[in-house]
Chain A
Amino acid sequence: MKVFVIGTGVVGSLIARELSKYDIELHIVEKKPDVAWGVTKANSAILHAGYDDPPESVRAKFCSKGNYLYNKISKELDIEVKRIGSYVVAFTEEEINTLEKLQKQGEINGVPDLEIIERKELLSREPNLNPDVLAALWAPTAGITEPWEVAIAAIENSVENGATLHLGEEVIGIEVKNGKVKRLITNKAEYEADVIINAAGLFADEIAKMADSEPVFEIFPRKGEYILLDKKLGNLVNSVIFPTPTKKSKGILVLPTADGGLLVGPNAQDLPPDKKHDLTTTKEGLEEVKKGATNLVPNIDFWYAVKTFSGLRPETKEKDFIVGKTSVWGFVNAAGMRSPGLTAAPAVAEYLVEEVLIEELGISLNKKKDFNPFRKRIPHIDETSVEVWDELVRENPKYGELVCFCNKVSEAQIVEAIKRGARTLDGVKFRTRAGFGRCQSGFCSLKIIEILSRELGVSMEEIKMNSENSWIMNGKVRV
């Protein structure tokens, strides 16, 4: 049985990892030179509790379950999940009514421990909230994580369990014969295939078109802009703060990041389907984000901004996931994974394998006896105890030599990231957090380029920021 997963975002990578539990020939195909560089790289990084989604939606089916599954995978894959909870805050009576609706909806969806908190209690828990707030819906199971780390971990674990990872390989065709998947064609090779899982994020519609499969759908990029602020402001809020949602989106939120900073955003701007590369930020968008954020938490000092960025969500007309089998046998979609896609991903992965492949398509899959569910992350030395860090330094003194000062990343971690596949500055950054901090790699970028060049045995000029044409240095000053 030859199974191909297209895409290495959280969805594709968790599906791959689920599949790697079985005795099959598993291939993971990614067109970018590294994993998790699409939607997964830039979003709110929230594990939603699951009260937002209408009970009849596909989203509702997977969200709270996915949220729950993170308990297990965070342990197995050694990824950071901080269950800091979330508040949806209300400023008017009308919004309080919405909170009550959300609470009921959440209960139907199986979200545990939802509670409406009154103003006084709320302000004692979150003293920096806008004092005009009246009440909030508290969801203790909501959390934050690092989505790219989830994907990186799941891919590492899949490869450990026998999967083959094809990076920089773009799918350009799918051959279907007698209504069944036959071949996968990439810009580099052609493969016989039995099953193809389409987890191509923003480009899932194009992949589905290649298979000429039904349902037919289109992915619309919906842009969200964000502002990341210094760690100094990381304690302004203790939980994820949402405004009361509108029909269109969950609104602009304020939340601490997994590495201790403060993130505000996103706004929501619908783009035409041909704008799937548009990661620009706009003046209006950033103003909107500032306004929305200060409405929730008035004293955010934007002098402490360290960066702005934008991400694209893969939206569909139905505003829902497109998950399941198609008119082509063996071609399976995990598409339209807009919010809460990150949260739902583990549940979607389990469903696709156990329900769709095994039950619906009747594929007999045998579990591997020697599947290793565990993966160890590169140690985050600034979060380990003093004793653990000291122990690491005794084993390898390079754990004591810091390269990134803002996020405290040592040379040993960077070398380890390179061993695990980092080839670029972003590859190192997303695996170690080096360069993510307040100086935005001012102190460490050149040192990391030097380490990459040394470890990979290439000249410094060959080291890129991320993609092929993102060169950094233009030759020598003196030859």
Chain B
Amino acid sequence: MKREKVDVLVIGGGAAGMAAAVQAANEGVKTVLIEREKKTGGVLNQCIHNGFGLHVYRKELTGPEFMEELWKELAETDVLVQSNETILQVLPKEKEVIAQSSEGMKIYEVGSLVLTTGARERPLNSLMIPGTRVSGVFTAGVAQKMVNIYNRLPGKRVLIIGSGDIGLIMARRLKIEGMDVVGVVEIRPEPGGLMRNVVQCLEDFDIPLLLSHTVTEIHGRERLEGVTIARVDESFNPIQGTEKFIPVDTLVASVGLIPQNELIEDFVEMDYINRGPVVDEFMRTSVDWIFAAGNNVAIHDLVDFVYEEGKIAGKYAAKVAKGEKLPEAVYRFNRGKNVGVMLPQKFTATQPFRMYIRPKKTLEKAELRISKESIRKYTWKLRPSQMIDFIFREFESLEPENRVIEIEVIEIE
């Protein structure tokens, strides 16, 4: 079996992975980027809508344009891109990574590792909706790839379940391509995606959004013939008597993304709210040579943040590969009121860093408090669909004897 020594190995060639590889290579270490598909780019390939790049490139780009920008960055480095290669296993004791490709199996002996494996879509069938198993039920990402890359339509008349951003984007996309889009159902009382997408994808195209509704049954024997939808109460249980049959041949599901950490979750500390590894401000996991960035750490709203994380992970992974010792992350955040997804969870307090928090519920006006002290005020509405981000630099109030720091988002008048 082939063996290869690599300073930084990056697993996953989406936005986070490309950014990490570029940054690691710029630190002057031998960097290999592994991509299991034929080309790098990840989901950017199929996200032909705009809204990307405002933070990173200071211009509004579409997904493929963001990808091409990253390709340009990659082309200026010595990163070796291995596409069509799949990582089978990470061996934590040996610091080895096993890869498979058409060239046969290969073992990488790594200095450090950056895991940028992204997320997968939650399949609708996992929600245990009663009914039949028929064709015509797609996750939003599959429908998107079918339309934008494969040049094929998924059906004629479609209902979207779940108002996450991909669901909203696909509602518009399918309507533009001539499908009869009967609506978007969302089980929660507010949309799951960004407000801008509610406006420009649904309102602009007269697509109804049915909040507090869900699909309660799937009908059809071979191809989908229709679904039953119903209104739900506060605990998301369907209300009897509100059921309605909707004849559709296609159901597109945008019901959640699942961070993919199968390669490391058995030996790094995991955060079961983020469903990703616990990381510090260097994007370092509990194993000091394994870094992670992007949607496998937590589901993000913006590729720009994923990119920034990739850069951080790549930079510090390179330092570790060069033998540099990073300071220890001695402080740890404790989730307080209204704090859902959050990263990083640990920090060293040696330099300011960006934090991301997803509020658990909608807050009209809010205040961010760390150890009960007000850090930021938000005079606008905060929603779970949108992460707040801020630079944390208020280290002077930290007390060395108290290393668990409470962080909370409090509603204010």
Contacts and interface: CB of A to CB of B under 8 A. Distances in A.
- The answer on direct contact between A and B (beta carbons under 8 Å) is yes
Interface of A: 227, 232, 277, 279-283, 285-286, 302, 305-309, 386, 389-390, 393-394, 397-398, 400-402, 405, 408, 438-440, 442-443, 445-446, 450, 460-461, 464-478
B40 interface: no
Contacts of B151: 476-478
Interface string B90-126: 0000000000111111000000000000001101011
Interface in B138-177: 139, 141-142, 145-147, 150-156, 177
A469 B123 contact: no
Given A308-B125, A386-B1, A390-B105, A472 B130 contact: no
B50 interface: no
B146 A446 contact: yes
Contacts of A389: 100, 105
Q: Which residue, A394, A442, A471, has most C-beta atoms of chain B within 10 A?
A: A442
Given A393-B102, A400-B103, 5 more contacts: A306-B126, A400-B105, A471-B136, A473-B153, A477-B152
Interface residues of B, number: 46
A408 B147 CA distance: 26
Contact of B125 (A440, A443, A468): A440
Given A400-B103, A445-B142, A439 B123 contact: yes
Contact of A474 (B100, B131, B142, B154): B154
Contacts of A471: 135-136, 223
A158 to B, nearest CB: 28
Contact of A281 (B104, B131, B223): B131
Contacts of A232: 262
6 contacts: A283-B130, A393-B104, A397-B102, A400-B103, A402-B36, A446-B150
A303 to B, nearest CB: 9
Contacts of A477: 147, 151-153, 177
B55 interface: no
A470 B142 contact: no
Nearest to B107: A386
A386 B107 CA distance: 12
Contacts of A439: 120-121, 123
B128 A281 contact: yes
B200 interface: no
Given A305-B128, A442-B142, A476-B153, A468 B102 contact: no
B152 A440 contact: no
B216 to A, nearest CB: 8
B338 interface: no
A356 B381 CA distance: 78
Interface string B29-57: 00000001000000000000000000000
A247 to B, nearest CB: 27
A134 to B, nearest CB: 31
Nearest to B148: A477
B86 interface: yes
B120 A442 contact: yes
A286 B155 CA distance: 29
Given A440-B123, A440-B125, A467 B146 contact: no
B134 interface: yes
Nearest to B84: A401
A386 B177 contact: no
B340 to A, nearest CB: 16
A434 to B, nearest CB: 14
A232 B270 CA distance: 14
Nearest to A479: B151
B377 interface: no
Given A408-B88, A469-B223, A476-B151, A401 B131 contact: no
Interface centre among A281, A397, A461 (most CB of B within 10 A): A281
Nearest to A467: B222
Contacts of B131: 280-281
A460 B104 contact: no
Contact of B153 (A390, A398, A445, A474): A474
Contacts of B102: 393, 397-398, 400-401
B153 A442 contact: no
Contact of A405 (B36, B136, B153): B36
A442 B141 contact: yes
Contact of A440 (B100, B126, B177, B249): B126
Interface string B228-254: 000000000000000000000100000
B221 interface: yes
B133 interface: yes
Contact of A400 (B100, B120, B150, B249): B100
B214 to A, nearest CB: 12
Nearest to A447: B37
Contacts of A475: 152-153
The 6 closest A-B pairs by CB, nearest first: A397-B102, A440-B123, A465-B135, A469-B222, A470-B135, A307-B125
Contact of B86 (A281, A402, A450): A402
B132 interface: yes
B3 to A, nearest CB: 13
Given A306-B123, A439-B121, A477-B151, A400 B104 contact: yes
Contacts of B216: 283
Contacts of B120: 438-439, 442-443
A280 B132 contact: yes
Interface string B9-45: 0000000000000000000000000001000000000
Nearest to B150: A446
B104 A306 contact: no
